[in-house]
Amino acid sequence: MANHKSSEKRIRQTAAKKVLNKYYAKTMRNAVKKLRGTTAKADAEAMYPKVASLIDRLAKKDVIHDNKASNLKSKLALHVNKL
């Protein structure tokens, strides 16, 4: 258990950030899943920039790693181009 005020505050901050990070990560995973499930090329091309932007924002906030963001965007671009 925490013995200092600062460590108690850090625990509260970490818990709050964890909730938000989980929400954003789940939102991103749902968006990626939706894009991968799309079979219409026009719909996929319209969705890709929004999903890529979401992925970039999460990488910038360190919710996901930069390399994971790059890999996700690359795979999604291949999927969209293959349609």
| pLDDT tens, residue by residue, 32-60 | 999 999 999 999 999 999 999 999 999 99
With 0.75 as the threshold, say if the pTM is over it.
yes
At residue 1, does pLDDT exceed 80? no
Asked if 55 and 73 count as a contact pair (C-beta separation under 8 A), the reply is yes
pLDDT at 3 over 90: no
Residue-wise pLDDT tens digits, 60-76: 999 999 999 999 999 99
What's the average model confidence in pLDDT over 9-36? 96
> What is the Cβ-side half-sphere exposure of residue 57, based on CA atoms within 13 angstroms?
11
DSSP for residue 27: H
- Extents of the domains making up the chain: 27-82
Give the DSSP H/E element, type plus range, for residue 4: none
